[in-house]
Structure 1
Amino acid sequence: MGAWDSLDDRLRPVVQASTDEYARVRPALEKLTREMEESLRAIFTDSPVRPLFVASRTKTVESFRDKAARTLPSEDPAELPTLLFPDPLRNLIDLVGLRVIVTLPHEVDEAANLIKRQRAEFDCRGDREKDIGSIESGTYGYSSRHLVLRTIQNDTVREFHKLLDPDQRPNGSYQFEVQIRTVLAHAWSEIEHDIRFKAGDPRAWSPYFDRQFTATAAMLETVETAFAELHERYETVTGFWDEDGQGSAPLTPNRIRDVWMTLLPHVNRKAGDDWGWAAELLAAHGMKTTMDLAGLLQADIITKVRKALDHRYSPGPDRLLDDLLLWRFGKKHIDLTAEPEDAAVKPRRESLGRRYRQMQLFRAREENA
């Protein structure tokens, strides 16, 4: 049951007159809606921000009537309630609405900032984060960025104004709403809107629905956080292979630790230690850049090394790095990092020798398999 269905009969003629006027001028607003969608699409054409899609809608006549019928209760029961929007054609800013749907949370801010920079075309009259209130109150709700934009000297708006009021000088300014959200938040909000706001009979509502929506909003936030962290890790890892950027960064002990913790966070028993030992091992083979280390720490090679040596215990970074270098460089690694062959005591050379023979046997079995 909408606001129109419960509207006082004495207010119906006023609301119906506004609705009839809206139906008359709506085709002009549909034209404006299409133009605004094309404008937003053009903004993202050569931008690093690539929305999944941009969509638009012009409020339906039925929806307009229902919103125009909303009232504020009067303090005196004998008096008529007051219409919340006495001049809805000019009071409502959501007659034209656009949505920009992106993949990850950080793209919401990037898209909003890009749109707001189009100052020759739009003037931003409002910018609101829909989830701010839920964060500050300790509750959950979907995240959405809402921009209210005003067109500047727009010819299509002038046509609409002439149609709406021929006696008024058209100024080309019109306010409309742009919602920017992630695809997961978009799906959540669409389902919530269908169930919570389009319910046929409010008596059928159950508090359990609110509880379920709150639970799904919490899960949504967790999933989006996980995707954001996954994207951040992906960006970091791909940067390791950029020879003109992060890939060329020198392998200081701290850098080695950071790269290791990004690629092998599960092998971290020396995460807080001084990683100078690792820098020395790598430098012995001329491995001095981030790309060198990233190339060494390949998952398929690590798996083979683990199988070849059949470790009784999961090795820490020191042992695993040593084994990976031994796998790649073989006897050269022994000669560069172990005691001299004629040393009286040579525990490292002997240990490396045993492990190297195990690797050789494993490789031979693989070749003959």
Structure 2
Amino acid sequence: MGIHWDRLDKRLRAQVEANTAQYERVRPSLATVTSQLQSGIRDIFRSAELTPLFVTARTKSVESFRDKASRMLQPAEPGGAPALEFPDPLREIHDLVGVRVIVSLPHEIREAAALIKRQRSDFDCRADREKDIGSIESGTYGYASRHLIMRTLQNNTVKAYQQALGEPARATGSYLFEVQIRTILSHAWSELEHDIRFKSSDPRAWSPYFDRQFTATAAMLEAVESAFAELHERYETVTGYWDEEGEGAAPLTPRRVREVWQTLLPHVDRKSDDDWGWAAELLAAHGLKTTTELAALLNPETITDVRAALEHRYSPGPDRLLDDLLLWRFGRSHIELTAGDDEHRRESLQRRFRQLETYRLGM
């Protein structure tokens, strides 16, 4: 029936069985509470920018309730009388009703928790903890999950459940329940872990190798989630470059040119120094002054054409590639605007311009 139930002291079994029978009687009413709370949490996100992948809920099973209600405390003194961790489990166990909010990326866990905690007219947050913090501080691995203990306020569905529960419960409409917020990858990992590690029918069949494997997969999970988080952050940054009312309007200072270049073309960052002034001057010569204009210039298809046309013997660094891209786009005007009295540069630009034009004719 469960690890704790199997180990329960015989003197406490009658008490646990009585509590379990009462829970089995009122569980249908509690399931109605669960459904209502699931809908209430889901409704929080209907008008929010954040949309969870899904919101699920469950009412603890009778078997799971019996096992958790069977947990014992260690005696204060050797040989002391055993005691239950939850002597009044229907009121002391706070995850009889559990709601799960599943999101895509780690930063959305924080956003979802903040949204739920702001619903002060319906809920009151009584506890808030991050499951992964302990593993980080101890140097171990586990899945990331935010656990909120919420309390309903004047909830009529809860009142009906409390009336079914009977004395000494009072029908106040206040009820504690748990909300877990985690990413889809952490959710999948935790479900598999729970099925294998915590639902093992025979604990004697457990092997330390399983723990080692779970640790390894948790480490891989953390690496994958970090990669997805970085991809999302880069995506948000890049799309911002095209917002002409926001980030796209940012002026092309040398530092800004460097930031945009290193974001869009991190694989072409081989400058021997950190001076991006010349790049900013080349852009300014053509009146290119905003981030959006630079992003448009660094078009991947154009870069591919320029590379093919000039057949670089060595992969060009940012200064040279930018020079070639401007030559491709502006042609002879780029030569006149940027060569000046430098005959060596003028000859180089003219030679490259002829190569670009020959390539264009063959396209």
Kindly indicate whether residue 345 of structure 2 is the aligned counterpart of residue 348 of structure 1: yes
Q: What is the Cα deviation at residue 272 of structure 1?
A: 4.8
TM-superposition CA deviations, 1:255-290 (whole Å, max 9, x none) = 111101111111112285221111111111111100
* Secondary structure, counterpart of 1:172 in structure 2: coil
Match of 1:336 in 2: 337
Match of 1:119 in 2: 120
Kindly indicate whether residue 361 of structure 2 is the aligned counterpart of residue 364 of structure 1: yes
Counterparts of 2:6 and 2:340 in 1: how far apart (Å)?
Answer: 91
Amino acid at match of 1:350: E
Match of 2:38 in 1: 37
Match of 1:240 in 2: 241
Match of 2:317 in 1: 316
User: Is this contact kept in 2: 1:131–1:142, CA < 8 A?
Assistant: yes
User: Is this contact kept in 2: 1:104–1:182, CA < 8 A?
Assistant: yes
TM-superposition CA deviations, 1:27-69 (whole Å, max 9, x none) = 1111111111111111001111111110000001111111111
Kindly indicate whether residue 67 of structure 2 is the aligned counterpart of residue 60 of structure 1: no
Q: What is the Cα deviation at residue 80 of structure 1?
A: 4.6
Decide whether aligned partners of structure 1 residues 271 and 68 sit closer, same or farther in structure 2, where only a CA change above 3 A counts: farther
Match of 1:69 in 2: 70
User: Is this contact kept in 2: 1:56–1:99, CA < 8 A?
Assistant: yes
* Secondary structure, counterpart of 1:270 in structure 2: coil
Q: What is the Cα deviation at residue 321 of structure 1?
A: 0.3
Amino acid at match of 1:65: R
Amino acid at match of 2:357: Q
Counterparts of 1:272 and 1:96 in 2: how far apart (Å)?
Answer: 60
| RMSD across aligned positions (CA) | 1.5
Amino acid at match of 2:159: R
* Secondary structure, counterpart of 1:242 in structure 2: coil
Counterparts of 2:27 and 2:142 in 1: how far apart (Å)?
Answer: 33
Match of 1:177 in 2: 178
Kindly indicate whether residue 293 of structure 2 is the aligned counterpart of residue 283 of structure 1: no
Counterparts of 1:285 and 1:239 in 2: how far apart (Å)?
Answer: 23
Q: Structure 2: which 5+ residue stretches go unaligned?
A: none
* Secondary structure, counterpart of 2:200 in structure 1: coil
Q: What is the Cα deviation at residue 335 of structure 1?
A: 1.5
* Secondary structure, counterpart of 1:268 in structure 2: coil
Amino acid at match of 2:354: R
Q: What is the Cα deviation at residue 7 of structure 1?
A: 2.4
Counterparts of 1:233 and 1:334 in 2: how far apart (Å)?
Answer: 34
TM-superposition CA deviations, 1:272-331 (whole Å, max 9, x none) = 522111111111111110000000001111011001100000101110000000011111
Match of 1:163 in 2: 164
* Secondary structure, counterpart of 1:213 in structure 2: helix
Q: Which 10-residue stretch deviates more, 65-74 or 211-220?
A: 65-74
Q: TM-score, normalised by structure 2?
A: 0.96
Counterparts of 2:143 and 2:174 in 1: how far apart (Å)?
Answer: 31
Amino acid at match of 1:180: I
Correspondence list, 1:1-369, <5 A: 1-74=2-75, 80-165=81-166, 168-270=169-271, 272-339=273-340, 346-366=343-363
User: Is this contact kept in 2: 1:257–1:271, CA < 8 A?
Assistant: no
Counterparts of 1:167 and 1:259 in 2: how far apart (Å)?
Answer: 65
Counterparts of 1:76 and 1:338 in 2: how far apart (Å)?
Answer: 90
Decide whether aligned partners of structure 1 residues 137 and 363 sit closer, same or farther in structure 2, where only a CA change above 3 A counts: same
Counterparts of 1:359 and 1:303 in 2: how far apart (Å)?
Answer: 12
Amino acid at match of 2:361: A
Q: What is the Cα deviation at residue 77 of structure 1?
A: 7.1
Counterparts of 2:257 and 2:54 in 1: how far apart (Å)?
Answer: 40
Counterparts of 1:283 and 1:77 in 2: how far apart (Å)?
Answer: 82
Counterparts of 2:152 and 2:110 in 1: how far apart (Å)?
Answer: 21
Amino acid at match of 1:331: R
Q: Which 10-residue stretch deviates more, 236-245 or 152-161?
A: 152-161
Q: What is the Cα deviation at residue 72 of structure 1?
A: 2.2
Q: What is the Cα deviation at residue 9 of structure 1?
A: 3.0
* Secondary structure, counterpart of 1:355 in structure 2: helix
Counterparts of 2:42 and 2:158 in 1: how far apart (Å)?
Answer: 19
Decide whether aligned partners of structure 1 residues 277 and 43 sit closer, same or farther in structure 2, where only a CA change above 3 A counts: same
* Secondary structure, counterpart of 1:49 in structure 2: coil
Q: Aligned pairs, how many?
A: 362
Counterparts of 1:312 and 1:212 in 2: how far apart (Å)?
Answer: 48
* Secondary structure, counterpart of 1:254 in structure 2: helix
User: Is this contact kept in 2: 1:261–1:271, CA < 8 A?
Assistant: no
User: Is this contact kept in 2: 1:112–1:180, CA < 8 A?
Assistant: yes
Q: Which 10-residue stretch deviates more, 3-12 or 112-121?
A: 3-12
Q: What is the Cα deviation at residue 10 of structure 1?
A: 3.0
Q: What is the Cα deviation at residue 245 of structure 1?
A: 0.5
Amino acid at match of 1:128: R
Could you list the runs of 4 or more consecutive aligned residues of structure 1 that deviate by over 3 angstroms after TM superposition?
Answer: 73-80, 166-169
